Amino acid sequence: MPASPSTARAINDRLALELLQQQGPLTAGQLKTETGLSRPTVADLVERLQASGLIRVVGESGADRRGPNARLYGIVADRAHLAALDVRTESVAVVVADLLGTRLAEASLPIGGDSEPGPVVQRAAALVERTSRDAGAAALHSVCVGAPGLIDPSTGELRDTTGLPAWHRMLVAALQQRLPARVIVENETNLAALAEQRLGAAGDRDSFAFLWLGQGVGAGIFLDGRLRRGASGGAGEIGFLPVPGTAGIPSAVDCDGGFHSLAGTAAIRELGQRYGLVGESAAGVVAAAVAADHGGFLDALADRLALGAAAVAAVLDPGCVVLGGETGHAGGEALASRVEARVAALSPLPTQVRAGVLGDAAVLSGALLTAGEAARRELFG
């Protein structure tokens, strides 16, 4: 059945707004070319979107040719403001941006391991409000919180997971109460995977597995262009994967004995000490090894990482594995190529292995992308 006039107008408006968001300011003529719509239809939608406060004239085009210049139309970036949070065990980082994702203010807050949950939540919530004011945002429209742990797919809430600070769940509730904004919660590894797919190492891939190598170990799974979360939100909990080379096996409440015991921060630092490499973080150890071309350490680490990567490849056949987080980024091509060679020896399925390019910044970037998509979905109709 043909669309009603109002539905057709909504579809056309959404198409034009998405083009302006993706390509930047365009003239009415360029919108006509890109959308395939008639000139009168484009003129009507431009007038309609200006009246709604979603677009405005941002300049002129055609100064290098004869005749009148054409007006350039662009998204009204301050129509809505976004916030992204990266919530770790010992810190909170926040960035506030406009509707187009331009970052306007950033801040972070260290959290002591013995801090009481209540005061931590108040300080973190105040940090978000203060950063929003610093960005000149009258109010936040959409907020995305990236946190470790499982997100309940039916409710979108952070589940009460053993081993994670109680203030994580409390912070989400506090933000929902204090902010006039939609608050979205997502697993940090999934957000980092999204960022690498949109902005980083997996930009040409519809299917890939992202291994987060940080304080903890996790995986983000993209198949056929979609992020897969699993029935309970636990797809990618690769830290619990039983693998050879550990002292035991993991349990339902403890990933010691799983892949985490080989690839977590403490395990990598301990491996580095065996090879005379010392650093304050696993990424520091790996970076030192790459700088010194320390083949022995890199080979040993690649042996470990290949166990997790090959297991993922055998089950999902993603065709590509990205070594992410600060540690994967630090290893670069020197580590990724070694892991790829070992996966090829372990699995009959062709699997590329790439180093992530965003490092620890991937979580905030993914959270900002998610908040922006939520805001535009509502505002663009």
pLDDT at 73: 95
State the angle between helix axes of 28-35 and 5-23 in degrees (0 to 180), rounded to the nearest 10: 110
Instruction: Work out whether the CA dihedral 240, 244, 249, 254 comes out positive or negative.
Output: negative
Residue 316: CA count within 13 A, CB half-sphere: 27
Distance CA 375, CA 16 (A): 16
Reported residue count of the chain is: 381
pLDDT at 115: 78
CB atoms within 10 A of CB 110: 9
Burial of residue 225, with CB atoms counted within 10 A of its CB: 0-12 exposed, 13-18 middle, 19 or more buried: exposed
Domains of the chain: 5-75 (1.10.10.10), 81-188+363-380 (3.30.420.40), 201-357 (3.30.420.40)
Residue type at 183 in one-letter notation:
V
Residue type at 173 in one-letter notation:
A
Helix (H, G, I), strand (E, B) or coil at 109: strand
CB atoms within 10 A of CB 284: 18
Q: Quote the pTM value.
A: 0.92
Residue 93: CA count within 13 A, CB half-sphere: 13
Q: Which residue in 257, 254, 286, 256 sits closest to 269, CA to CA?
A: 286
Burial of residue 160, with CB atoms counted within 10 A of its CB: 0-12 exposed, 13-18 middle, 19 or more buried: exposed
pLDDT at 169: 83
State the angle between helix axes of 39-51 and 28-35 in degrees (0 to 180), rounded to the nearest 10: 120
Distance CA 211, CA 278 (A): 23
Which helix or strand (DSSP H or E) is residue 142 part of?
strand 142-147
User: pLDDT (tens digit, 0 to 9) for every residue of the chain, 381 residues total?
Assistant: 566 888 888 999 999 999 999 999 999 999 999 999 999 999 999 999 999 999 999 998 865 555 567 899 999 999 999 999 999 888 999 999 999 999 999 999 999 877 788 999 999 999 999 999 999 998 999 999 999 888 887 777 777 666 678 888 889 889 999 998 999 999 999 999 999 999 999 999 999 999 999 888 999 999 999 999 998 888 999 999 999 988 888 888 888 889 999 999 999 999 999 999 988 899 999 999 999 999 999 999 999 999 999 999 999 999 999 999 999 999 999 999 999 999 999 999 999 999 999 999 999 999 999 999 999 999 987
